[in-house]
Amino acid sequence: MDSEGPGRDTATVIIGQRVRPGFESEFRAWQEEINVAASQHTGFLGAEIAAPTAVQPEWVVIYRFDCVANVQAWLNSAARQDWLDKGRHFLDGPATQQVISGGSRPASQLVTVVVTHRVKPDNVDDFVAWQERMRLAESKFEGFRGSELFRPVEGVQDEWTALYRFDNATNLLAWLTSDKRRQLLDEGERYHDFSSRTIDSSFGSWFSFDEKGNEAPPPSETKTSIAVWVGLYPTIVLLTLALAPLKMPLWLGLFVGNLLSSFIMTFVTMPHYVNPLLGRWMRPPPDAPATRTNLRGIAVVTGVMAFWVLVFYLVTRVFWTLP
> Does residue 196 share a domain with residue 57?
yes
> Does residue 130 share a domain with residue 67?
yes
- The residue among 173, 201, 229 that closes a domain is 201
Residue 6 maps to a domain: no
Residue 139 maps to a domain: yes
> Does residue 31 share a domain with residue 127?
yes
> Does residue 170 share a domain with residue 56?
yes
> Does residue 276 share a domain with residue 155?
no
DSSP lists the bridge partners of residue 164 as 113, 147
At 44-82, the pLDDT tens digits run: 888 888 888 777 788 888 888 888 888 888 888 888 888
> Does residue 234 share a domain with residue 108?
no
> Does residue 185 share a domain with residue 291?
no
Residue 73 maps to a domain: yes
What's the helix, strand, coil split of the chain in %, to 5? 50, 20, 30
Collapsed DSSP state (helix, strand, coil) of residue 259: helix
Q: Distance between CA atoms of 273 and 230, rounded to whole angstroms?
A: 9
At 137-193, the pLDDT tens digits run: 988 898 887 777 888 877 777 788 888 888 777 888 888 889 998 888 888 777 766
Residue 226 maps to a domain: yes
Burial class (CB in 10 A: 0-12, 13-18, 19+), 319: exposed
Q: How many domains does the chain have?
A: 2
> Does residue 172 share a domain with residue 254?
no
Q: Which amino acid is at 82?
A: D
Strands 160-166 and 110-117: antiparallel
> What CA dihedral angle connects 210, 4, 124 and 96, to 10 degrees?
-40
Domain that holds residue 139: 11-201
Residue 63 maps to a domain: yes
Residue 266 maps to a domain: yes
pLDDT of residue 30: 92
pTM here?
0.50
Residue 209 maps to a domain: no
CATH number assigned to the domain comprising residue 76: 3.30.70.100
> Does residue 269 share a domain with residue 159?
no
> Does residue 304 share a domain with residue 184?
no
- Sign of the Cα pseudo-torsion (282, 283, 284, 289, in order): positive
- Give, in degrees to the nearest 5, the angle at Cα 98 between 94 and 104: 145
- Which one, of 174, 101, 117, 116, lies nearest residue 144 by Cα? 174
> Does residue 245 share a domain with residue 193?
no
**List of the chain residues with pLDDT < 70:** 1-9, 102-110, 192-194, 197, 200-219, 285-287, 321-323
Radius of gyration for the chain, computed over Cα atoms and rounded to the nearest angstrom? 23
- The residue among 143, 173, 201 that closes a domain is 201
